[in-house]
Amino acid sequence: MTFKCPQCGADLEVLNEAQEHLSCQFCGSSIYLNLDLPVVHYVLVPGLNERQAESALAKWLSDRELTIFPQIISRKMFYLPFWQVSLKDGRLINVPAVATEYLNLHEMQKPAGTMNFFDPREITAEVVVPEITLESVAGEEGLDNVAKAILYHAPFYEIKYVYNKSAFACLVDASGGAVIANDSPKSPKKEKDVFFGVLMFGSLALFFLEGLLLGKLRYAFLLGICTVAFIYFPISSAVKRHRV
């Protein structure tokens, strides 16, 4: 079987039909062969080690006011495949080339970081095989609508951890440090916001009732609003102090 190098256009030949990778002898590109079109295949170089990935998770949690260091149960590194496609209608697509339970990966931009040509001999962690074809991500017009496409593998740590006696799992992008998670421990910030809301509503109702007892609905409204204005700042600053 012969085909043109997607990078330099040279005529290349595959001797073995089952061959997945080929290195172009003219331009040196790594080419992935097993899906619908031969594409140039890259790999993102990991920039974070395990410790740094755990710290990225701890930072992500503390941004949600979850300041206890998570208890790490397991961590595993692997490479997930992505399509980066420019369509002829101008759209740019960056999507996982495999089905994944981490749906936020679909909104992820390609992480910044060094990209090398993919070389299976240089990778020790598990490499997830791409399964979603270029045609299926290109939309209704299919491959005719593809201006340029590359396949890249990006390194991730899957970290399983316990926080406040509940178990969670997330991915940490090992090239840029982003955390991808379907769920996370409950943030105390939200609870405080609810507490604050209940307090405000409670005091408003209380003084509204007082105003009613005084006999005039007009006064009731005024009293309620004045009361809220009076207590708003002390309460909100107290809540803010709590958060620090």
CB of 13: closest distance to Zn ion in angstroms? 13
- 40: nearest Cα among 26, 25, 24: 24
CB of 119: closest distance to Zn ion in angstroms? 15
Q: Which is nearer to Zn ion, 31 or 138 (CB)?
A: 31
Q: Which is nearer to Zn ion, 12 or 80 (CB)?
A: 12
Q: Which residues bind Zn ion (CB under 5 A)?
A: 5, 7-8, 10, 24, 26-27, 29
CB of 54: closest distance to Zn ion in angstroms? 40
CB of 154: closest distance to Zn ion in angstroms? 23
Q: Which is nearer to Zn ion, 14 or 27 (CB)?
A: 27
Q: Which is nearer to Zn ion, 31 or 66 (CB)?
A: 31
Burial 156-188 (b: 16+ CB within 10 A, else e): bbbbebebeeeebebbbbbbbbbbbbeeebeee
Report residue 21 as tokens: 């990778």
Q: Which is nearer to Zn ion, 24 or 108 (CB)?
A: 24
CB of 8: closest distance to Zn ion in angstroms? 3
The 3-class SS string of the chain reads: CEEECCCCCCEEECCCCCCCEEECCCCCCEEECCCCCCEEEEEECCCCCHHHHHHHHHHHHHCCCCCCCCEEEEEEEEEEEEEEEEECCCCEEEEECCCCCCHHHHHCCCCCCCEEECCHHHCCCEECCCCCCHHHHCCCCHHHHEEEEEEEEEEEEEEEEEECCEEEEEEEECCCCCEECCCCCCCHHHHHHHHHHHHHHHHHHHHHHHHHHHCCHHHHHHHHHHHHHHHHHHHHHHHHHHHC
CB of 117: closest distance to Zn ion in angstroms? 11
Q: Which is nearer to Zn ion, 28 or 202 (CB)?
A: 28
Q: Which is nearer to Zn ion, 8 or 225 (CB)?
A: 8
CB of 127: closest distance to Zn ion in angstroms? 22
The total of other beta-carbon atoms located within 10 Å of residue 129's CB is 11
